[in-house]
Amino acid sequence: MSVVIETTLGDLTVDLFTDERPIACLNFIKLCQLKYYNYNLFHTVQQGFIAQTGDPSGLGNGGSSVWGVVEGIQKRFFEAEYLPKIYHSSAGMLSLVSAGKNLVGSQFFFTLGENLTSLDGNHCVIGEVVEGHEVLRKLNDAIVDEDFRPYQDIRITHTVVLEDPFPNPRGFQVPSRSPSPSAERLQNGRIAADEDIDETNGKTMEEMQEMLAEREAKARATILEIVGDLPDAEMAPPENVLFVCKLNPVTTDDDLEIIFSRFGVVKGCEVIRDRKTGDSLQYAFVEFEDQKSCEAAYFKMDNVLIDDRRIHVDFSQSVSKVTWRGKGRGVVGDGSQLDFNNLRESNGKKHENKPRMREHEDRRGQGDRRIDRNRNDEQKRVITSEERRKAREQRHKEQREREDRGRRNNTQRSRSRETNGRHNERYERRRSRSNDRNVDRRRPISPYRGSRYSPERRRGEHQRDGSVDRHRRTPTNSQSDRRQAERKYKAKESENVSRDRKRVAVKEERASKKKSKRAKSSSSESSDSSDDSESSSTDSSDESSSDERSKRKKHSKSKQRKSKTKRKHKSKKKHKK
């Protein structure tokens, strides 16, 4: 069973508890069908508590039940049901206002907070809002005076009953159309709902600039709330905390605490450090006991020289450690979370009726006790100077351990680099020695050897093979692979050395044979005459121009013939003598 209540702020859809509260629901439905609530004013709106209406006069002391409208003023009130119990546990509950002794009439209210235990048992809950929570939020944000009366009128414009399960009372007649607003219903209004309000009327230029600055600040806070930087746009940073930046990395918490303590009692001082390295990020937060000391430090400490650095001081804008209790209402305690973003149970507000005043006083006493409990919890959470000193020593100890660990790692890396460098130097030295040995033992180029077996080609092939083998070797990090590679390299070097030694031995044998032959030929030529020497010199010059190998053969044959002829000639001369 539902009823739609149309207001100047929007529409509300209410589900009624017809099974639990049949008589009270019958009264409410029949009044809606009579259009009794049309143009009724919300005469009381208490933020986080209730929004009350149902009085045609708009004063808050009138109204009648459906039986009083049909049968007469003597039946203005009736006794409503109170069993089974239904509690005001959440925002959006619809209750009929009790005038005392369980007597109710036409006035009702919507709850704007949760767990309103002071209302339980005194007022009759008949329904709950299922659609239109944004309208309740607007009601909660309405601007009111000291008597909780809105400055701009908020009215019910129309009511629609979706289903009526109850029979009509005797003499009840449904009007054919909605009645026009009477002068009685409109006389107690202030500013009409559709009337434009000029907020700048009667204000000076400074006041208008201040108003624009507040709007811009609120717009920026709303943007920060949308992107997730602020939990709530109405959250205000603490006014007793300073932000200090441009610090020297060597400046510690104790240094700042000693410097700023001359302005007042310092509750806490923290230099923000890197989580991993523990190094200072060169900014800090200083919290004072009172706001006056904080303001004095703000005016005196900006651009002051600390540890050879000019610091900058400003009021803290951080709200990471702040629990929201409303703008400018402090930073201690946890605000009760409601079904809506801005709804909160109000504390310390008076009610119009005397029975509700006593209930409100009880509720205010509960709120004061809750604040005292939060203050005690805060005092328990305050860290003493001894605990802060121990925590600082522990943090410094961990930082020194990290530095020692990093130093050890650096020394190990440098040692490994040195060993690798020595190994590389040995390897390069051996390689240079082998190259020098190969250069010294290089075979001279012979014109009788073909290009296929030339020393240059052999050396190129040898280098190419070596480069291929070097490229084929895959780098390994284990010691076994490194040793195996060194063994292969040493074996290859030994093979190259043995090969070079064989070549050198062959060269030496050939050179000795040539020397012996030359010695024999020179001994035979020593006994020849000068003419023969001239002819031999000419012959040798001619032989050098022709093919060396053929000349050598012919030269040797000619020398042999001459030697034979000379020997014969000498032997003949001896016989003649």
**CA nearest to 97, candidates 81, 109, 82, 84:** 109
Is 453 part of a structural domain of the chain?
A: no
Across 66-70, 104-108, 422-426, least confident range: 422-426
Is 527 part of a structural domain of the chain?
A: no
Q: Read off the pLDDT of residues 247-258 as tens digits, 9 standing for 90 and up.
A: 999 999 999 999
The one-letter amino acid code at 92 reads G
State mean pLDDT over 344-370.
44
Of 305, 328, 351, the residue that ends a domain is 328
Query: Tokens in use for 471?
Result: 């490229």
Of 293, 328, 363, the residue that ends a domain is 328
Is 401 part of a structural domain of the chain?
A: no
Share of the chain above pLDDT 70, in %: 70
Total structural domains in the chain?
Answer: 2
Within this chain, do residues 254 and 177 fall inside the same structural domain, yes or no? no
Omega of the bond leading into 355 within 30 degrees of 0 (cis) = no
Is 7 part of a structural domain of the chain?
A: yes
Query: Tokens in use for 326?
Result: 């409303």
Hey, which of 168-172, 180-184, 371-375, 435-439 has the most confident mean pLDDT? 168-172
Across 95-99, 213-217, 381-385, 556-560, least confident range: 381-385
Domain residue limits at 89: 2-185
Query: Tokens in use for 525?
Result: 């030529």
Does the pLDDT of residue 529 top 60, yes or no? no
Does the pLDDT of residue 176 top 90, yes or no? no
Within this chain, do residues 79 and 180 fall inside the same structural domain, yes or no? yes
Q: Read off the pLDDT of residues 39-62 as tens digits, 9 standing for 90 and up.
A: 899 999 999 999 999 998 888 888
CATH code of the domain containing 124: 2.40.100.10
Is 522 part of a structural domain of the chain?
A: no
| SS3 call for 476 | coil
For the chain, the average pLDDT equals: 76
Q: Tell me the H-state helices in 385-478.
A: 385-440, 455-472
Of 290, 306, 328, the residue that ends a domain is 328
Within this chain, do residues 178 and 248 fall inside the same structural domain, yes or no? no
Burial of 554 (0-12, 13-18, 19+ CB in 10 A): middle
Beta bridge partners of 78: 104
Is 116 in contact with 345 (CB distance < 8 Å)?
A: yes
| pLDDT band at 528; cut points 50, 70, 90 | low
Is 44 in contact with 50 (CB distance < 8 Å)?
A: yes
The pLDDT of residue 95: 94
Within this chain, do residues 93 and 161 fall inside the same structural domain, yes or no? yes
The pLDDT of residue 459: 57
Q: Read off the pLDDT of residues 316-340 as tens digits, 9 standing for 90 and up.
A: 887 766 654 444 444 443 333 333 3
CATH code of the domain containing 261: 3.30.70.330
Is 478 part of a structural domain of the chain?
A: no
318 backbone φψ class: left, alpha, beta (φ>0; ψ -120 to 50): beta
Distance, in Å, from the CA atom of 337 to the CA atom of 254, rounded to the nearest integer, reads: 38
Is 399 part of a structural domain of the chain?
A: no
Within this chain, do residues 174 and 278 fall inside the same structural domain, yes or no? no
Within this chain, do residues 251 and 178 fall inside the same structural domain, yes or no? no
In 196-302, DSSP assigns E strands to 241-245, 266-273, 280-288
Distance, in Å, from the CA atom of 323 to the CA atom of 175, rounded to the nearest integer, reads: 54
Q: Read off the pLDDT of residues 80-137 as tens digits, 9 standing for 90 and up.
A: 998 889 999 999 999 999 988 889 999 999 999 999 999 998 899 999 999 999 999 9
Beta bridge partners of 131: 13
